[in-house]
Amino acid sequence: MSEAATVARAETLMADGHIDQALALTEGMATGPEPTHLALAVHSGALKLASRSPEALEFDRQAIERFGDSPIAWHNYAATLDDLGRAEEAVEACENAFRRGMDAAQTFAVYARALRAFGNHERADYAYRQSLMRAPAEVGVASEFANHLWMMTGDLKVADSALDAAFHAGAPPTPLLIAKATLYEASGDSERAFALMQTASDRLTGDAYAHMAAVEYALRLSRLDAAEAFQRRAEAVEPRSRSVIQYSAIVDLAAGRPAEAFAKLQGALKDHPNDQSLWGWMAVAARAVGDPLYARLCDYEQMVGVYDLETPAGWPSLEAFLADLAKELKAAHVYRQHPTNQSMRHGSQTMHMLSGSNAAPIKAFFEAVDKPIREHMAKLGEGDDPLRRRNTFDYRMVGAWSVRLTPNGFHRDHFHPDGWLSSAFYVETPDAALDTEEHQGWIRFGQPPFFTNPPLPAERHVRPKPGRLVLFPSYMWHGTVPFTTDETRMSVAFDVVPK
């Protein structure tokens, strides 16, 4: 098979989700003695789709060494660096691409993401606008830009205008409407978010995603009748969709039909046995019907690990290390407002892969958590439940960020669909709040984000403490009890998957 035919076949496999097959097909081309630029690029792309960006970077580096005058090679290198959280290097690589004639919307988008990572808001604003000048209907970039504007200014109208511009440029309506609803809800106007998605569901009758988004905002406002009506519309459009089945189960749980929810999720899991979202909702259904599966999915004693970090090498005490870590993290919190598309409210969140930082305390942190992660995997051991059956006793990190909550701050109850083990590490804690009867500022487990019939409150709380790491299954519902004291709460979180 010629290289062109191999690449075409690999691209088809990737588009169809067969990433392992694409990797096997492209590896020989990319690891040969004289790989072409195309071979290196396609193999790197497959590795990135497999969440193996550190390996992809090596092939991108080969490309700039062998084909250093290629702006595309520099773009690919920049994009992978940005994926890894190496923002300053990504900025430099983008500028190398520009110097070699690159003028693509995608490169300006990478440039914007890298610039915002260390707070160069003015230049990031310029880069986002340059990207949208070249591709004004690109929904993903428009949504990012709106989020950037909201976090930077807290001005709803300014952020909303970025989404309106994309709509007038011809962007598809549903993802823009969902982004708008997310923005309105993040600003505190849940009624406006619901009204928008209600209108979308009424008008976009053939769009299941619009109906499902309407279901979600109806449930946030405890409007069961509306949620059921929207769900019936989604089922009429795509009755076999995994997402539609999941939302149908969620509505059943709200309506007091847990047995129906359990059966629907059980059927979906036969076809998608590693889907963390389905397992998260299956835990709710199993608990509601009293099925023993719940105890296997949410064995809080065994599956929630609490570890107090050892002092990293180079620091005289844990307190000294945490002080240095806090200083670096505060410098990385470059926004005023919480993001629109995350679980936290009232505070700020870093928007890049924190494990790529070159700051000594942050690097030391990720080195120090290796021991408790491995201890927790050993404690879990092997088994046939959805958590243990994937345990290889090795891991790779797929996400890492920091959150700084301010007074009245909290995390909505949520899970991490892209992880296997998730975490919370506490750098600074609101100590007065932690002593309240309500467990203000504590992490809680087991409470779903929407109302259920019967109600299902949290079943486990863990008290934060500076230097404490909490590890738990990524499908496990968790959130933060809001705190009302005049304090802050800063944490680091990451997700890992089996290697």
What CATH code is carried by the domain that includes residue 404? Answer: 2.60.120.620
Instruction: Read off the pLDDT band of 352 (50, 70, 90).
Output: very high
pLDDT level of residue 276 (50, 70, 90 thresholds): very high
Q: Is residue 135 part of a domain?
A: no
Query: For 147-175, b where at least 16 C-beta lie within 10 A, e where not — what string?
Result: bbbbbbeeebeebbebbebbbeeebeebb
Q: Is residue 30 part of a domain?
A: no
280-331: pLDDT as tens digits: 999 999 999 999 999 999 999 999 999 999 999 999 999 999 999 999 999 9
Q: Does residue 144 surpass a pLDDT of 80?
A: yes
Residue 489 β-bridge partners: 405
The residue segments making up the domain with residue 427 are 301-498
The answer to the question of residue 410 being in a domain is yes
Assess whether pLDDT exceeds 90 at residue 118: no
pLDDT tens track for 149-188? 999 999 999 999 999 999 999 999 999 999 999 999 999 9
The number of distinct structural domains making up the chain is 1
Instruction: Indicate whether 311 belongs to any domain.
Output: yes
Specify the pLDDT at position 462: 98
* In-domain check, residue 374: yes
* Residue 306 forms part of a structural domain: yes
Strand order in the sheet with 443-445: 460-462, 443-445, 478-480
Q: Strand, helix or coil at 370?
A: helix
Per residue in 34-77, pLDDT tens?
999 999 999 999 999 998 999 999 999 999 999 999 999 999 99
